[in-house]
Amino acid sequence: MESKRQQKFAGVIQKDLAEIFQREGISFLPNTLVTITKVRMTPDLSLARIFLSFFNTENAALSLNTVKSHGSEIRYKLGQKIKSQARIVPQLEFFLDDTNSYVERMDKIFDKISQEPRQPDTEE
């Protein structure tokens, strides 16, 4: 369970990272929309686990690796934004948020189930 402090700082990180990806993410991920779906902070606020979702990309894993390779640059830009709000700039760990693919897979399963013929209810 995250404390209020962790949740508040995670919200700040999420908002500022979203601005960074919106303005400068196009330089290393052209034609790809990056969404920060969730940020989890460690209790000491030294590590931020960032969950990303990618749209308009062929290979999400490759896009994630591209973001990871630019991690130090992203952390530096984040530090410029939050320097007055935080004592230290947290280390950033990026993860792929697969919620969308899970939802799509479940929708396909439900569609398949709804197209199968129904078995008549037998009453005894």
User: What is the three-state SS of the chain?
Assistant: CCCHHHHHHHHHHHHHHHHHHHHHHHHCCCCCEEEEEEEEECCCCCEEEEEEEEECCCCHHHHHHHHHHCHHHHHHHHHHHHCCCCCCCCEEEEEECCHHHHHHHHHHHHHHHHHCCCCCCCCC
pLDDT score recorded for residue 25: 86
pLDDT score recorded for residue 5: 92
pLDDT score recorded for residue 62: 92
Q: In the chain, what are the domains?
A: 4-115 (3.30.300.20)
Q: Which amino acid is at 25?
A: G
Residues paired with 52 in a beta bridge: 36, 96
Report d(CA 110, CA 53) in Å as an integer: 23
pLDDT score recorded for residue 123: 62
Locate 78 and state its tokens.
């984040």
Tens-binned pLDDT, residue by residue, of the chain (124 aa): 889 999 999 999 999 999 999 998 888 888 888 999 999 999 999 999 999 988 888 888 899 999 999 999 999 999 999 988 888 999 999 999 877 777 788 888 888 888 877 777 666 5
